Amino acid sequence: MLHFFRKEAPIFDLFDEMATRVVSSAEHLRKFALGFPQAGSELNRIHDDEAAADGISHRILDRLNHSFMLPIDREDAHALTGGLDDIIDYIDSLAKRFPLYHVESMEATFVRQTEVLLLAATRVTVAVRKLRTSHTLSDLGGALVEIHRQESVGDDNHHAALSRLFDGSCPPLFAFKWKELHTLIEEAIDACEDAGNILERIVLKNA
């Protein structure tokens, strides 16, 4: 079981640090959307989270390369690191697009999606923090179910947003910009589900 490997527990601390950056970046995106256009400083904080997450990823990979015994398989640790990093990368990509595309107004559906993303990211973090002491899948079950539920809500919001963009009422350039923005946040939500699936596999393998 995972808790038998106490001497290698610090790698779980690194996972916790990474998960904290996942939630932080999602929180800043939410604040940006709610405070638009006055909340531009939140985009800089997202970039800071992305840079910090890259540093944590390097530390994890260094640990994987230099540790003889690990509490979970190296390939699983690598997958989880990549899965958490993907969430932050999608959020950072969004942060870069808003000034690049000179976005002048905020879409209501996008604001709703930032809440979905934050809820999913928060549950990912809960699951990551339980990983070091999890004995069975039921220990993470509630968090994983909620991640999947939020992904389903995100899909519904995404479809509704695209339907409105292409119903003929939106100028082409507006539709082009927002199609990509809606797609990126939907991919960030999907990445939360992917991270949840990785966590599920790790617990099943080690329980």
Nearest residue to 63 (alpha-carbon basis) of 19, 16, 10, 17: 10
Instruction: Report pLDDT digits (tens) over 50-79.
Output: 999 999 999 999 888 877 677 788 899 999
Q: What's the mean pLDDT in 92-116? A: 96
> Would you say 120 and 193 are in contact if contact means Cβ atoms under 8 Å apart?
yes
What pLDDT, on the 0 to 100 scale, is given for residue 68?
67
Amino acid making up residue 50: E
Task: Point out the least confidently predicted range of 117-131, 135-149, 156-170.
Answer: 135-149
Q: Which amino acid belongs to residue 94?
A: L
In angstroms, the CA 142 to CA 133 distance is 15
Q: What is the mean pLDDT of residues 17-44?
A: 97
- Angle at CA 30, nearest 5°, toward 175 and 144? 100
- Mean pLDDT to the nearest integer, 173-181: 96
| Exposure class string for 156-179: b at 16+ Cβ within 10 A, else e | ebbeebbebbeeeeeeeebbebbe
The helix, strand and coil proportions of the chain, stated in percent and rounded to the nearest 5, come to 85, 0, 15
pLDDT at 8 over 50: no
The pLDDT tens digits of the residues spanning 121-140 come to 999 999 999 888 876 777 88
Find, among 85, 123, 101, 113, the residue nearest to 180 by Cα. Answer: 101
- As a whole number, the mean pLDDT across the chain is 91
pLDDT at residue 7 greater than cutoff 50: no
CATH value of 2-206 in 2.60.40.10, 1.10.3720.10, 3.40.50.10860, 1.20.58.220:
1.20.58.220
Model pTM score? 0.92
Domain ranges (residues) in the chain: 2-206
